[in-house]
Structure 1
Amino acid sequence: MAKEDISFHGCRETPVFIFFKDARSIFKMDELGLEIMRIALPAALALTADPIASLVDTAFIGQIGPVELAAVGVSIALFNQVSRIAIFPLVSITTSFVAEEDTITKVIPESEDCESLENELSLDNENKMLIPENDSDKTPSKSELLANSFEVANIKHEKRHIPSASSALIIGGILGIIQAAFLISAAKPLLNFMGVKSDSPMLFPAQEYLTLRSLGAPAVLLSLAMQGVFRGFKDTKTPLYATVAGDLTNIILDPIFMFVFHLGVRGAAIAHVLSQYLISLILFWRLAEQVALLPPSPKYLQFGRFLKNGFLLLMRVIAVTFCVTLAASMAARRGPTQMAAFQVCLQVWLATSLLADGLAVAGQVINHSVQLLCQNPQEMQPTARSAVEG
C-alpha cells in the first residue's frame, strides 16, 4: 500500500500533471482573467486590423492585374522585413520598460469608493498637508474632505514622467528616417536580390510602390513605438481606435487614388502612407495628454538600456521574418502569377495568425507589474494581488 501511495505521489509531481492540474482555471472569470481579457482583446484586434486592411489593399490591387499584385507583394515583403528588424525589439522593450516605470511612479493607490477615499484623506500624512495649519485641531468636515479629494484627483491626472516613452519615440523616429533613406536609395538592388530582375515586368511597379511606401517608414516606426508605450500603460484600446481609424482611411482612399485618379499602385502606396501618418498623429496627440514627452535633461534618456536589450531580440526577429522574406523571394523567381498567389495567401495567413499576440501583450504587462508590486504588498492592486496569490 505504501508503494502505491509513493508511486501515485510521484505521478502527481510529474511535469505533465503540473501542466494540467490547473487547466480548469483557464475559463475562470476572476479579476485576473477579466484584466487579461481587457488588455488582450483590444491588442489582438489592433494587431489583426492592419493585415485585414492589407488584405483589402490586395483585393483592390488585384483588380489592376496579376503583375501589379505580384510587384506589390514583393515590395511589401521587403518593407516588412526591414521594418520588423528595426521596430519589433523596440516595441517589446518599450512595453516592458514603460510598465516598470509606470508601476514605480504610482505612489497614490486608486480608491475603490468615496468612503475609502475619505478615510485615506483623514489618515494619510500627505493628504493632511492639504488642510491649513490653523485648523489642524478641528475635525475636517465632509466638504473639506471632498475638496481635498478633488485636489488629489488633479495630482493623479498630472502628466507622467516616463523616460522610456521619450527614448522610444526618439529611437523610433531615427530608425524610421534611416529605413526610409535606405529603402529609397537601394530599392532596385534590393528588388533584384528578391528575384525581380531587370527584365521582369514586375520591376517598375515594384520599385515605384516601394519608393512611395518607404516615405511612410518614420510614421510606421513612430506609431509602433507609441503602441508599445500604451501597452505598458495597460491601454490597448487607444492603439485599437487609432489603427482602425487609419485603416478605414486607407480603405476609403485606395479606390479614389487608384481608380478615380488613375494612379494605380502609386495610389495604393500614397493611401497607405497617409493612413500611417494619421495613426501616428492620433497616438501622439493622446500620448502627449498623458506623458511629459520632453525630459528635464538628456541624461534621463535610456538609449544604452534600449540598445543593449534590443540587440538580444534582434536575432530572433531576423530568424522569424527571414522565412517569410525567403518564401516571397522564391515565389517572385517563379513569375508574376505565382507571386500574386503567394501575396493573397500571405495576407490571409497574417490576418489570422496574430490573434495569440494579444495574450502575449497582456502577459508581458501584467508580469512586470506583479514583479514590482509584490515588493510592496500594501500598494498592490486587486488584480496584481490575485495574480500573486494564484
Structure 2
Amino acid sequence: MAADDSSSLWKNMGKLPLFALFRDSRNVLNKDELGIEIANIALPATLALMADPIASLIDTAFIGRIGAVELASVGVSVAIFNQVSRITMFPLVSITTSFVAEEEATIKTSIVEEEKEEEEEEDEDENVGCNHDDNQEKVPLTGSSDKKISKPEDKRKHVASASSAMVVGCILGLIQTLFLIFTAKPLLLYMGVKPDSPMLKIAEQYLTLRSLGAPAILLSLAAQGVFRGLKDTKTPLYAIVIGDTANILLDPILIFTLRLGVNGAAIAHVVAQYLIFLVLIWRLVENVVLLPPNFKELQLGRFLKSGFQLLIKVISATSCMTVAASLAARLGPKSMAAFQVCLQIWLATSLLADGLAVAGQAILASAFAKKDFEKTVAAASRVLQIGVVLGLVLSFILASVSQFASNLFTKDVDVLKLMNISFPFIAVTQPINALAFVFDGVNYGASDFAYSAYTMVMVAIMSISCLFILSSSHGYVGIWIALTIFMCLRVFAGLLRIGTGMGPWSFLRS
C-alpha cells in the first residue's frame, strides 16, 4: 500500500503545471523540428543584437582619435540618446513581435480552414456527378486575365498589426526627435556638463544631429518586430550589417577626410539608420501590405495599452540598475569604475539570452493564437531548458577568463581587486540571468504584458530596498548581492505564473 501511495503521489506531482517545464529535458539540444525552428530564429537575432554594440565600439575608436574632450562629449550625448530611446524602443519591438505572430497564425489557420471547406465542397460536387470542367469553372485558372492582375497582390499578407506598428513607430520617432532637439542643452546640463565647459557645444551639436535619426530607428525597430513576428530574423540581420558597415566606412571619410569631426560621426550614424530602414521597408513591402484599407483596422489602442504596460516594466528595471550605479558611485571613483565595467560585462552576456527570448516569443505567440497548447508547452520548456544550458556554458567561460579579462580594462590594483570580487557574482548568476530574460520572451509570447509589468514593479521595489540595506552593511559586495536577488526575483516571478497555471497558462491545470 505504501508503494502504491508513493507512486500515486509522484503521478499527481507530475501533473502540476510547474513540471511541464521539465518535459523532454533529455532532448534539450536535439536537432528536431522545434530545435531547428528555435535555432533559425535565435541565431540571426543574436547576431543582429551583437552587431550594433560592435559598430558602436568602432565608432568610439574613431572619435577617440579626435581628442578626449570630443570623446567625452559624444559619450554623454549617447548616454542621453540611449536612455530616451530605451523608453520607446523596447516596448515597440516586443509588442509588434507578439501581435504580428498572433495575427499571422490566425491568418494561416483561417486559410487552412477555407481550403478544407473548398475541398469538401468539391468532393460533394463530384459525388453528385459534377465533371472536371465544372470544377474548372468554379475555381478559375490563374492563367485568366483577372488572376494575372491580382496574383502578385494576393501573395502579400495584409497584417493590420504591421501597419499599426509602422504608424506608432513613425509618431514616436518624430516625438523623440523634437524632444531631443528642443531639450538637448537642458538635458546635458542636467547630466553634469557645466555651462562654461568646452564639452557643451560639441555635445549639443552631436545630440541634435543624432536625434534626426530617431524616426528611422523607431521605424526600423517596428519593421524588425514585424519580421520577428513572421519568424524571419535573417532579413533584419542583413539590414543591420549593411547599415553598420556603411557607418564604419563613412566615419573616416566624414570625420577626417571632410574634416567634419564629431558632427561627421553623427551624420554617418544617421545615414546608416536610414539605410537600415530603407532595406527593411524594401523587403517588408514585398511580403506585407502596409497600407490598411481603412483607419479602423489600425490597432492603436491595443498598442498603446500594452506599450504603457511594458513602459512601466522598462522604467522599473532601469530604476534598479540606476540605483545600483549611484550607490557604487557613492563608494568612490574606483568602486564606480569597477562596477561599471563589470555591469557592462554582466549585461553584454544577456544578448545571447535575448536572441533565445525572441525565438520563444515568436513561436509561443503563434502557438497561442492557434490554441496549439501541445506546441506551447514544448516550446516554452525547450527555450527555458536551452537558457539554463546557455547560462551554464557562459558561467564556465566567464570563470575561466575572469583573471585575463579584468586586466584588459585597467591596470589599477584597487580597481582590479574590486573587479575580482565582482566576477564570481557575474559567473554564478549567468544561468539565473538567462532564465530571467527567456522568461520575459515566454511572457511576451503569451501576451502577458500586464503581469510582466506589475511583477517587475514589485521586484524593483524589493530589489531597491535590498540595494540600500546591503550596500550600507556590506558595501560594494552588498550591491552585487542585491543585484543577484533582483535577477532571482525575476526568475521566481516567471516560474510562479507558469508553475501555478495562472493567466494564459490556465490550460496547464486542465
Q: Calculate the TM-score normalised by the size of structure 1.
A: 0.79
Please say if 1:83 is aligned against 2:85.
yes
Please say if 1:357 is aligned against 2:354.
yes
Alpha-carbon deviations, 1:251-306, whole Å to 9, x = none?
11111111112222111111000000000011111111111111111111111111
1:1-390 to structure 2, matched below 5 A, reads 3=2, 6=5, 13=13, 22-106=24-108, 107-109=110-112, 123=119, 125=121, 136=132, 158-322=155-319, 352-374=349-371
Structure 2 letter corresponding to 1:279: I
Alpha-carbon deviations, 1:107-146, whole Å to 9, x = none?
445xxxxxxx9xx9995647999xxx99536999xxx999
Alpha-carbon deviations, 1:25-80, whole Å to 9, x = none?
21111110110001111111111111111111111112222322222121111111
Which structure 1 residue ranges, 5 or more long, are not aligned? 110-116
Structure 1 letter corresponding to 2:192: G
Structure 2 letter corresponding to 1:187: A
Considering fraction of residues, name the structure with more helix. Answer: 2
- 1:254/1:189 Cα in 2 relative to 1: closer, same or farther (>3 Å)? same
- 1:33/1:257 Cα in 2 relative to 1: closer, same or farther (>3 Å)? same
Structure 1 letter corresponding to 2:76: V
d(CA) in 2 for partners of 1:239, 1:103: 21
d(CA) in 2 for partners of 1:389, 1:19: 4
**Superposition RMSD on alpha carbons, in Å?**
4.3
Alpha-carbon deviations, 1:192-235, whole Å to 9, x = none?
11122213333222212111100100000000011001111111
Q: State the structure with bigger RCO (CA 8 A, min sep 6), 1 or 2.
A: 1
Structure 2 letter corresponding to 1:33: G
The alignment covers a number of residue pairs equal to: 368
Contact kept in structure 2, 1:99 and 1:233, CA below 8 Å: yes
- 1:268/1:139 Cα in 2 relative to 1: closer, same or farther (>3 Å)? closer
Contact kept in structure 2, 1:77 and 1:328, CA below 8 Å: no
Structure 2 letter corresponding to 1:309: S
d(CA) in 2 for partners of 1:72, 1:330: 25
Identity %: 60
Q: Which secondary structure state, in structure 2, belongs to the residue aligned with residue 354 of structure 1?
A: helix
Q: Calculate the TM-score normalised by the size of structure 2.
A: 0.62
d(CA) in 1 for partners of 2:380, 2:326: 47
d(CA) in 1 for partners of 2:338, 2:199: 14
d(CA) in 2 for partners of 1:192, 1:344: 25
- 1:22/1:138 Cα in 2 relative to 1: closer, same or farther (>3 Å)? closer
Contact kept in structure 2, 1:70 and 1:332, CA below 8 Å: no
- 1:368/1:3 Cα in 2 relative to 1: closer, same or farther (>3 Å)? same
- 1:297/1:71 Cα in 2 relative to 1: closer, same or farther (>3 Å)? same
Structure 2 letter corresponding to 1:185: F
d(CA) in 2 for partners of 1:268, 1:327: 31
d(CA) in 1 for partners of 2:334, 2:181: 26
Farther-moved stretch of structure 1 (336-345 vs 53-62): 336-345
